[in-house]
Structure 1
Amino acid sequence: MDQTASIAEHLAGTSGITIHLSPAQIFIGAGLLGVVLLSNAKSLLFAWHGRLLAQLARHLLLRRRQLTIKSAEHGAEAIFAPVVTFSYTPLLDIDYNLHKSNSTFFSDLDDNRTELMLALFKDVVKPLKRGKDSLKPKMFNLGGTSCNFKKAIPPFARFEISSRILCWDQKWFYVVSHFTKPNSNKPTRFLVGQQATKASTAPIEMKTSEDQQDRIYATAITKYVFKAGRVTCSPDSILIECGLLPPRPSAEEQLGSDDAAANVKKEQQSHWSWAEVEEECGKHLKLAQNFGSLEQLHGTFIGRSGPAMYAY
């Protein structure tokens, strides 16, 4: 102990630096440190992991029933409804241009898209135990993402992220996400969660395309595939297992008998039919598959087939 004290005294003496802090200075310093940490809490070490664990606990354990979408209860149109996240830009997310760094958009997307995928597909991610009839767990895996930046987000600015299922094909679910200015998302009602019993108090506003575009900071698209072990599961099978699709029309209904037409019309007055879901899915399928075709870029890798500029 004496040796340690003598070493400390020797170092202080040789460096010529002596620090004396009053209680007030310590209090102010601790306060400033607290402000810095709190204002950057979103981007601190392990904060991302903590948010992910909280999402899993909320959806799979604590509020599973309240945060689950079902076609019979919410309508098949709920498949395409967005999940909205409110966020902000801490100093740790700022780049040398003094606005939100492009790379940080993707960590924000992780939070929002995970919330969407769990709200829709938790019944296959962690199936309820039903004895021998229990489903085999299936997990969604990110296959690719791309983000188009439109406007810069300044430091400490608040923004919203909304993600929804855009469409699907034989293998992939395509999710579209928008980063927008505050108060851009004003839904007519909420389907699940604490606000589910509340209708929006804001009047329905018919915005022009220019008005909507002006509120967008960035738009991203992501594709997900579901796997049961190493086996790929089709999106249609996942939607059916989760109870998200309405009943498929029978052969008689597809032929268009009078009674079937009346039943379809009655169904349309309440919730979407199978045909309406297919129509909505097909609206943007070509656009999404154009993004999917970017996999061909793997073939542009030079590797050992040509020279490189340099390595560092």
Structure 2
Amino acid sequence: LRILNACSRTLKIQRPKNPPTYSQIFQPIITTTQVPLMEIDFNIHKTNSSYFADVDIARAHLICTLFSVGIEHCRGGTGAYTGADVPFFSCALGAVSCSFKRELKAYESYELWTRVLSWDEKWIYLITHFVRRGTVKPKDYTLYPEQNPNAPELSETEGERHAEQQASLDVLSCHPGVVATALSKCVFKSGRRTIPPAFMFKMSGILPPVSSHKPTESAENCDDSDSQHGSCKSSDSGIALNNDDEESEIDRVEKERARGMEVAQCLGGNTQHALELEFTGSEEPVLGRHLDGVGLGGIARCAAMLAQSMSYHDLIEHSDQPSYPLL
């Protein structure tokens, strides 16, 4: 149901009145939720594994909001079954990482701030911050202006105090309300064909259409889609300049994309390949083999081990009693 709620943002009746533009590419979408009972660990905190499920939901909200028009184009409609003779469209997860800074208590409300960090010829990188609810107030709601509260005007003293607080937060390495940070690497697919993120931006009306430039060598896994989706070389973000008025804004988008790409290198191909090479396989010895306690078989094995442990303790207790010689 959580995924369906996010995917409903692709429906025309659920889209914002004003479609997103290139000035909103790096702005986050906030998803509000809380820690349910089934996601609590032994410490009465949100279990670490459940963070990744939340990241899946947050990604779906952002992708279905930003790329609703592009998704409709690739699927041939917005319904569950469009009937269009087009390959199956999907957004596949290539890699994900999550760092934990503070705990979330049972039934505590929190927010998922998810935005585009960067993209290249194949991958789009999304960053999600887990934020305690109420600790951060957005400066403005640009895509849904009706959500902007009627904030009271601050007095001169309050304004100075607020400015000092914001300045102190800028110096800190992280906002105190952030409890965890996740980075996701995703790829758009039409069947087995890779769709460059730049094409999705353009089909969604977020970036200007492709300009007439000299074709370049396409990247791996993108050669089959170059004629349909345009160039997708790693040095080209897919941004085209139409006029001088847009140039400064588009340049800022490209600079932010390049800056975010440096941050996203931790999920880049070279880093992940180095981790894959750490697999020893059959070249080195192993400690042994354990069975996971999943299913009915796992329950039976767990019960057998508990019974064996209890009988072992009983044997130890009886061995501590004094023994008498046999006649």
TM-score computed with the length of structure 1 as normaliser: 0.68
In structure 2, the partner of 1:142 is 93
Whether the 8 Å contact between 1:69 and 1:119 is mirrored in structure 2 is: no
State the one-letter code of the partner of 1:63.
I
Alignment deviations for residues 43-84 of structure 1 (CA, whole Å, 9 cap, x no partner): xxxxxxx1212332x22336244377432xxxx121111110
In structure 1, the partner of 2:179 is 217
Note the 1:252-291 alignment, pairs <5 A: 264=244, 266-267=245-246, 273-291=249-267
In structure 1, the partner of 2:120 is 169
Note the 1:58-69 alignment, pairs <5 A: 58-61=8-11, 63-66=13-16, 69=19
In structure 2, the partner of 1:235 is 197
**Change beyond 3 A, Cα 1:64–1:277:** same
Alignment deviations for residues 196-218 of structure 1 (CA, whole Å, 9 cap, x no partner): 33434447955223395211100
Please tell me whether residue 295 in structure 1 is matched to residue 295 in structure 2: no
Whether the 8 Å contact between 1:174 and 1:222 is mirrored in structure 2 is: yes
Please tell me whether residue 88 in structure 1 is matched to residue 50 in structure 2: no
In structure 1, the partner of 2:109 is 158
Whether the 8 Å contact between 1:124 and 1:137 is mirrored in structure 2 is: no
Task: Give the CA deviation at 1:185.
Answer: 3.9
Task: Give the CA deviation at 1:302.
Answer: 2.1
State the one-letter code of the partner of 2:284.
G
Query: Comparing 58-67 with 228-237, which one deviates more in the overlay?
Result: 58-67
Instruction: Pick the aligned partner of 1:122 from 59, 68, 71.
Output: 68
For residues 77 and 180 of structure 1, what CA distance do their matches in structure 2 show?
24
For residues 237 and 101 of structure 1, what CA distance do their matches in structure 2 show?
37
Task: Give the CA deviation at 1:124.
Answer: 2.9
Please tell me whether residue 179 in structure 1 is matched to residue 130 in structure 2: yes
In structure 1, the partner of 2:50 is 104
Whether the 8 Å contact between 2:11 and 2:68 is mirrored in structure 1 is: no
For residues 212 and 224 of structure 1, what CA distance do their matches in structure 2 show?
25
Structure 1 unmatched ranges of 5 or more: 1-49, 252-262
**Change beyond 3 A, Cα 1:143–1:309:** same
Whether the 8 Å contact between 1:248 and 1:274 is mirrored in structure 2 is: no
**Change beyond 3 A, Cα 1:303–1:82:** same
CA RMSD of aligned residues (A): 2.9
Structure 2 unmatched ranges of 5 or more: 78-84, 214-242, 291-327
**Change beyond 3 A, Cα 1:54–1:199:** closer
May I ask how many residue pairs the two structures share in their alignment? 239
TM-score computed with the length of structure 2 as normaliser: 0.65
Alignment deviations for residues 173-210 of structure 1 (CA, whole Å, 9 cap, x no partner): 010110111124422332334xx334344479552233
For residues 199 and 219 of structure 1, what CA distance do their matches in structure 2 show?
26
Task: Give the CA deviation at 1:139.
Answer: 2.2
Note the 1:64-79 alignment, pairs <5 A: 64-66=14-16, 69-71=19-21, 76-79=22-25
State the one-letter code of the partner of 2:137.
K
Whether the 8 Å contact between 1:124 and 1:139 is mirrored in structure 2 is: no
